[in-house]
Amino acid sequence: QVQLVQSGAEVKKPGASVKVSCKASGYTFTSYGISWVRQAPGQGLEWMGWISAYNGNTNYAQKLQGRVTMTTDTSTSTAYMELRSLRSDDTAVYYCARATNYYDSSGYYIGYAFDIWGQGTMVTVSS
């Protein structure tokens, strides 16, 4: 079945980096993008960015520019998200999600949404 399986929980000190993996199965990895979404405890969803699994193009949320890097390894159908210079407010559950493009009746691209999600990875930043 179509699924995304993420790496396990992480505990990091402020200033460190974390790299979370997201392994895809059950579909053609390079036919979709992958987005990363995080959720701080008791808070809403925050989009972090998107990467094309086809060509590696990226689009990062402005507030994370310079601290986040998203990559893919097509040989293993795995996406990665690295966040650097961690702060306490980076403590959150991090999700990867498959980004599916949608088109109108004329074939015009109209946007994307997240139809498959990973199980989430808890990242705790604490001294």
Residues that bind other proteins (CB under 8 A): 35, 37, 44-47, 50, 59, 61-62, 95, 97, 102, 110-115, 117-120
Nearer to other proteins, 1 or 14 (CB): 1
What minimum distance in Å lies between the beta carbon of 79 and other proteins? 15
Q: Are 86 and 18 in contact (CB under 8 A)?
A: yes
The SS3 of residue 64 is helix
What minimum distance in Å lies between the beta carbon of 16 and other proteins? 25
Do strands 18-25 and 109-117 pair parallel, antiparallel, or not at all (unpaired)?
unpaired
What minimum distance in Å lies between the beta carbon of 40 and other proteins? 12
Nearer to other proteins, 16 or 63 (CB): 63
Cα(115)–Cα(26) distance, integer angstroms: 13
